């Protein structure tokens, strides 16, 4: 039997409390509960514009999509698969039927950039779009810059990694390696529309950054 709407609302509050309790600042500022909440709100905004979206499944998946990161600490590869497993256990604990559990688990498995898994369901496509939107725009820039403070910001001879593979040696490599590629992989019309402005913010930031770095290289003012 499909989970009742009233029960789902109670469950979602429980899932939120569970994720909040596991979210700690030492796990990195880029994936704390504020990210989860933005992804949830973006996913619901997109989901309401897509006919046939199961908003209960979508919101549960959004709330739990990064729980594998919190469970695998320090971070390891495979957080999406681990997250799907943890989420399935939590959903079963709340009495969700197998069909809904699998729907949430699939969305979580398919949201990850590194996993390379194709989202099949509408809810999985929406969740992935929402997660990628949160990596764009001003918030996306901020998340890149706080993600790892143990690397140099850029290579002085090639700050934006245009003359070499963006291999993540430097912080700014992440823009070419991933962030600038996100816009073209979105599935829903609403997400593509939102991504246009956010992508433009990123490209404008990088262009301004390049100008400021080049200006610093001119030496002392005359």
79 and 28 fall within a common domain: yes
The residues pairing with 192 across neighbouring beta strands, listed in sequence order, are: none
pTM for the structure as a whole: 0.91
- Residues present in the chain in total: 222
| Whether residue 193 has pLDDT greater than 80 | yes
- Same-domain check for residues 5 and 112: yes
Asked if 129 and 121 touch (Cβ cutoff 8 Å), the reply is no
User: Which of 72-86, 143-157, 207-221 is predicted most confidently?
Assistant: 143-157
Which of 117, 150, 172 is the endpoint of a domain?
117
Instruction: For residues 112 and 139, state if they share a domain.
Output: no
Beta bridge partners of 158: 155
Question: Are 48 and 95 spatial neighbours (Cβ–Cβ below 8 Å)?
Answer: no
What DSSP state is assigned to residue 95?
Answer: T
Query: 28 with 75: CB under 8 angstroms?
Result: yes
Quick one: 96 and 188 in the same domain? no
- Examine residue 74 and say whether the peptide bond preceding it is cis (omega within 30 degrees of 0): yes
Confidence of residue 216 (pLDDT cuts 50, 70, 90): low
Question: Using 50, 70 and 90 to split pLDDT, how confident is the model at 1?
Answer: low
145, 93: one domain: no
Phi and psi at 76, nearest 5°, equal -135, 165
pLDDT band at 32 (very low <50, low <70, confident <90, very high): confident
Do 86 and 133 touch, CB atoms closer than 8 A? no
Q: What is the CATH number of the domain that holds 47?
A: 1.10.472.50
- Residue numbers of the domain that contains 160: 135-222
Number of domains observed in the structure of the chain = 2
The CATH number of residue 144's host domain is: 1.20.58.1910
pLDDT at 136 over 90: yes
Scanning the chain, the segments in alpha helix (DSSP H) are: 5-22, 33-47, 55-64, 67-71, 79-93, 98-110, 122-133, 137-147, 173-177, 189-216
Mean pLDDT along residues 189-209: 97
In this structure, the answer to whether residues 155 and 189 fall within a common structural domain is yes
**Residue 71, pLDDT score:** 67
In a domain, 22, yes or no: yes
């Amino acid at each position: 039997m499909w989970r009742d709407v009233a029960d789902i609302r109670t469950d979602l509050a429980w899932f939120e409390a569970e994720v909040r309790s596991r979210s700690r600042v030492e796990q990195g500022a880029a994936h704390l509960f504020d990210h989860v909440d933005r992804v949830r709100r973006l996913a619901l905004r997109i989901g309401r514009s897509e006919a046939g979206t199961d908003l209960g499944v979508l919101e549960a998946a959004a709330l739990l999509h990064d729980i594998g990161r919190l469970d695998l600490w320090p971070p390891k590869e495979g957080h999406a698969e681990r997250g799907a497993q943890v989420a399935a256990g939590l959903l079963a604990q709340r009495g969700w039927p197998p069909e809904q559990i699998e729907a949430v688990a699939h969305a979580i498995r398919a949201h990850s950039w590194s996993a390379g898994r194709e989202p099949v369901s509408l809810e999985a496509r929406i969740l992935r779009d929402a997660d990628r939107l949160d990596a764009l725009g001003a918030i996306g820039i901020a998340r890149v810059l706080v993600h790892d403070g143990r690397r140099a910001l850029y290579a002085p001879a090639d700050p934006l990694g245009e003359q070499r593979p963006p291999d993540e040696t430097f912080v700014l490599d992440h823009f070419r390696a991933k962030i600038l590629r996100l816009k073209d992989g979105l599935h829903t019309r609403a997400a593509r529309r939102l991504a246009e402005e956010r992508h433009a913010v990123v490209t404008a930031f990088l262009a301004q950054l390049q100008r400021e770095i080049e200006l610093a290289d001119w030496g002392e003012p005359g």
